[in-house]
Amino acid sequence: MDLTPDRTRSPAFPNLGVFAVLFGVWCLFFHVVGNSSFGYVHSPSFFGWLTGWYQLATVGESGDELCPLIPFLVALLLWLKRDQLAAAPKQVWLPGLALVALGVLIHVAAYLVQQVRISGLAFLIGGAGFMAALWGPRFLRVIAFPWFLLIFAVPLDAYTNSATFPLRLLSTTISAGFCKAVLGLKLVQQGTTVLQPATTTSPGFHFDVVAACSGIRSASVILLISLVHGYLHLRTVASRAVLVFAAVPLAVFGNIVRLIVVFVVGDAFGEAAAKTIETRFGFITYASALLGVILIGHFLRIREKRRENTIEPRPAS
């Protein structure tokens, strides 16, 4: 047996040292001049702003509490796809530096208008540019999804607050309407507030569907799960797109289910019991939505297999 190492075999990641140096400089750039907004976190570093935001007491109320876990999720996805990443054809592709230039331009614009979250996108675009320049466009296509999934590590609550009221109103109207029409509950809806006057058979309750109950918090989580589920289990872009577009309706559906449970409990046991359900049984929202993600993903996978089986093999030349 010949144990002599095969020196003709190219490494799985050529120019890895060059990438480490360039990416290190890129990180240093965002560390030194990454944040021009000192309203919440007094640090010039983008990473300092990011970690400082994670430590704010309001993060748990905004739906951004999962942001610190995203890098670990991305690392897991890269490990699961390690063979595919190593096998991807690699080549030096200088046009990839255009992405680095684009990242610099976006960051400069974001820095001037104090939009640190947009700088997070610029950081990812520039990092992708270095990978494209050193390893080529085909490698970039393989790593693009897990890499840009890191955008979920950036707190986005500031951009989703404006969407909460329409979702709150929609969830309230559907859940209250269902309880009145199907379950016969005597509810009174006033915008996003639902109340039931006390009677001889019911203690009554007064419940306000606040921003945290809008479904926007669960929507970001369900969207993330839909993306990962589609990436791991579905093959076509069309199937993955269907699952992604279903994320927000599924999150709203899960929130409606929870509100229905809250109203039913309030009718039977009063306001205190209803608020306990609302604050401690948030898993009802996620369980309902996750079930929808799994079912839709299952049917999409069956559809993909059927299409694969119906494709006629090409005759041998």
Share of the chain above pLDDT 90, in %: 28
Q: Please report which confidence band the pLDDT of residue 216 belongs to, taking 50, 70 and 90 as the band edges.
A: low
Query: What pLDDT does residue 1 have?
Result: 43
Please enumerate in sequence order all residues whose Cβ is within 8 A of that of 142, keeping only pairs 6 or more positions apart, or say none.
81, 84, 85, 88
- C-alpha–C-alpha distance, residues 287 and 293, integer Å: 10
pLDDT band at 50 (very low <50, low <70, confident <90, very high): confident
Res 317 pLDDT > 50 = no
Relative to beta strand 188-190, strand 205-208 is unpaired
| 215 CB-side CA count, 13 A | 27
Question: So what's the pLDDT on residue 311?
Answer: 61
Band (pLDDT 50/70/90 cuts) for residue 276 is confident
Residue type, 23: F
Give the per-residue pLDDT at 39: 62
pTM, two decimal places:
0.75
Residue 242 has pLDDT above 60, yes or no: yes
| Whether the Cβ atoms of residue 40 and residue 118 lie closer than 8 Å to each other | no
Mean pLDDT of the residues in the chain: 82
Q: Among the ranges 60-69, 133-142, 146-155, 180-189, which has the highest mean pLDDT value?
A: 133-142
- Cα 34 from Cα 126, distance rounded (Å): 13
Query: Taking the domains of the chain in order of start, what are their residue ranges?
Result: 16-155, 162-307
Of the two residues 140 and 252, the one the predictor is more confident about is: 140
pLDDT tier for residue 3 given thresholds of 50, 70 and 90: very low
